Every structure is written in C-alpha cells, then in structure tokens.
Chains A and B, each alone.
Chain A
Amino acid sequence: MRDILPDVERWRARGERVAVATVVSVAGSAPRRPGAKLAVSEKGEISGSVSGGCVEPAVIETALQVIKDGKPQMLEFGISEEENFEQIGLACGGTIHVFVERLDW
C-alpha cells in the first residue's frame, strides 16, 4: 500500500478516478505475496505490481472497466505449464487471486 500511495495521491489531486488491484491469495510459488498492489488511473497510468509483469495487462484492462462501472472483480491467474504459451499465466506455475476495486471508499 505504501509504495503506491504517492502516485495514487497525485492522480486523485488531478481529479482522476483510481482502481486498486490487490493480490489476496497465492497458491504455490508466485512472484508477489498477498498484499501486493497495482494502482491504475483513469488515464491508464500504473503504479506498483501484482505479478512482476505476467498478468499486469489483463489486470489493467479489468481495472479500467472497474473504474467505469464501480463493480469490484475477483480475477484468477495461473495455468499449467503446457498451456502457458501465449496465454495469460504465471511463469512460475502458481495460482493467484487478484481483487480489483475502485478507490471510492
């Protein structure tokens, strides 16, 4: 949370809406621990990370949707190694859940 705060504050000061994605659970090995966060501004700027790059594009897309409709979403990532090619997944094979919500609380 502390790492994304300065950017979130800057966006909010400009009057932009913000979504925050949080890793809420991890099974197996995963690049980031529960609590890791990615913030996304209405204009698509980002701060922080939830996976070190592998799933960020999908999370950003969902975050922009959540900024519009205000409905929180739970995303699940992680697939077996043979399916990993050209699909969204974690390089190291774990499963993560990412909760995406609009910062309107």
Chain B
Amino acid sequence: MENLNLILPEIFISLSIMFLLILGVFKNESSKIIFNLSLFAILITTIITINETFSVTRETLFNESVVIDSMSSLMKIITLIGGFLVLVISSTYLKTFKIYNIEYPVLILSSILGMMVMISSNDLIVFYMGLELQSLALYVLATYNRDQLKSSEAGLKYFVLSALSSGLLLYGCSLVYGFSGSTNFDIISNQLNSEEYVLTFGIVFILVGLAFKISAVPFHMWAPDVYEGSPTTVTLFFTIVPKIAALSVFIRFLYVPFLNLIDQWQMIIVFLSIASMVFGAVAAIGQTNIKRLIAYSSIGHIGYTLAGLATASNEGIQSSIIYISIYVVMNLALFSCLLMLRRKDQYFEDIDDLSGLSKNHPLLSLCLLLILFSLAGIPPLAGFFAKFYVFKAVLEQSMYFLAIVGLLSTVVAAFYYLRIIKIMYFDKEKDKFDSDHSLWLKFSLTVSTILILLYFIFPSQIVEVVSRINII
C-alpha cells in the first residue's frame, strides 16, 4: 500500500477546490467566504506539507511516478506561501474592478495544485498533466478582467503561445520516450547516453518548452504583453508562483533524466542564461509602463537563476533556489508598492506617475527605494546575496565568461532601477495617492521590506535550509 500521507497536501487542496466550487454554486454572494476559505485551505495545505513531507529525504509513489524529496517539499512550501500572499493582497484590487468573484481563488488554487503535481512529478505524463492543469488556470486568470480589451488580449496571446510551447514540449517528450522506452525519469536516466544524436533534439524541444514557461530569452516574447495586460494581482502571481514550479521542473529534468547528457544541455542553458540576463537588462531601459518593466526585469532575473543551473553542481542548484526565493520576496514587495499607487479607484502603472513620490509618501518611497536597490543587487540588501550565491557557484566551476557577463549586465540593469529611483526622489511631486490600504497589503509590504533590508544579519538560515537539497 502506498503511503498516501505523502501526497496529502495535493489531496487536500483538490478536495478544497471541489468543495469551494460547490459552495460557490449553491450560496449567493459567497465571494468573501470563498476567499477566506481558500486562504485557509492554502494555510492548511502548507502546514500539512511541512508536517508530512519536510523531513522526507526521498520517497517515490505510484510506480515511481511521483517523487517526494527535500527539493519538492521546499518548492511546494514556497509556492504555497507565494500563492497565499498573492491571494491575500488581491482583494482590494479585484473589488475596484468589480471582479471580486469566486472563480479567482478557485483558479489560483487549481493552478497551485497543478504546480504541486509538476514539482513532485517523476514521470513525463504526470509532469505534463500538472503543467496543463496550471496553464489552463493561468489562461483564464490572465483574461480575468474580461471587460478590458488588454486583459483579453493578454489571455489569448498567452494561450496561443503557451499551447505552442506545450506542443514542442510534448514532441520532445515523445522523442525521449521513443529512445528510452519509458516515461519514468529514473529509467530514462539509465537508458540515455550521449551516443544517440537524435536524442539531443528531444532534449532541445523539452528545454524550449520549459524555457517558454519561465520566459527565458529567446522564448520570452509573450511575457511583456501578458504581464502588462493581465490584472496587476494576476501579474504578480505570474511573476512568482509559476516560475518556482517551472524552475523546479527544470532542475528535475536536467539533473534526473538528462544528467548523463550534461555536455548536450549545458551549452543551451548557458546560452539561455546569458541571453536572458543581457536582454532583460537592455530591453527594460526603454519601458514606461512599470508592469512591462517588471516583465523585462523578471526575464533578467530568470537569467541569473539559470546561471546557477548551468553549473551542473549541487551548489548551483541550491543557489538558484535561494535566488528564486529572494526574488519572490522582492517581487512581492514591489507589487505591494504598485498596488498602493491608487487614487480613487484608479490604479497607476506608468513610471512617470511615481514622480516625486518621496515628498508625499516618504515611507512608501523608502520601501520602494530599498526594493529597487535590492533588485539591482546592491549590497547589503538581500538581492545582492542572491546574486552572490549564484556567482559563487558559477565561479566554482570556473565559468568566468558567464559570471562576468552576468555581473556586467547587473550594471546595465542598475540603470533602469536607478531611473525609477530618480523619478521618485529627484523629480517634482504630483498629486497624492490614497493612503487607506488594506491591512494585509501593508503587512506584506512591511514584512518583505524588512526581510530584504535585514537579510544580511542572518544570511546562514536560508543556506542551511536549502543545503539539504542534493539532487546529484
């Protein structure tokens, strides 16, 4: 008998989704209850995940098609916390646009479920199932503000391009299956060897599909449009939660089935990483819309995460996970600020709207200042340490070129972060924004800013947690 306790989080969250859907159908005016219940469900799921799986080193279920190990449990916890915080700060925004409906939390829950399946997958079919579950939920979320043209456009774009990438991914999977005779990662890992040249095509297709999902250059084209068009809270969700899941799948693919083919994929990852870092930095310079700018900056950050993966070492994987965790915190803080730029039911998304913010809202702009410097990777803020760990891992493998290009592109990236700071601090002030924000929004901004600012006092903790992850 399988030990079902290990997938209790997934079971619980799927039951919650069904229950909430039924509740939504039978009860009128239930959005508030469903919001609260789904927050509660995520909370419980997190607790279950910590209780049941956090101490597990490695267990497999269902003919080894699901794996529970230290990486999967950690990534699930980060995903759940990210999802929780996104949901909790969304409500004011959604109410403003009159889209405070029951579907929103349910969709977020189901995409989280999909991601949890992805993270735990040890089999091509399970992986693909999880991927599609989360993608379908995300398509709908992108169009969630359906009265707005931009939102519908974003959803459609996302759907078409994502479907294309899923197709590529499937094609890659079938090639791999053809060569190895199995869909199980461990078996594939034993069957594959670098003599089969056609196999490289399979790997490339899978990597392309995954690169699409995390919007690495040159498969990033959808990101700026989708980020700009989607409702801001959904954009926040896009920038953090699916990235965590996609990253852990990336890690799983590279280091379990394809481990023996390191020579084949290492170059590809290095290329994706360099291209994302450089392009993300350069393309963000000309942006005027903050959400577009964040899209490009997130492309850049994905580049740094991939740099850690390219090292093919445990150090590198750990550094990537640290990077993405710190990135989640920074993005959460950034979007909390963005959601505070509100004046009578109108949200502001242009960088110029920030003009002179520091005079009217000194605290908010101080937070934003710290967040931006942290994103730029200036010590002693958390963002610096994220980059530091990555480059430490990269240099351990003597990949000097990657490190130098990466660090030089941080200088370029620093320019556009500085530009926002310049507008906030050096320019003339405009009208005040509203200051009656929900408690949760203030809470998430304060906590994440404090984490960013004071991370340097206790830098070891996160390293210790992550150091349990040993894939190779």
A binds B: no
* A-to-B contact residues, CB < 8 Å: none
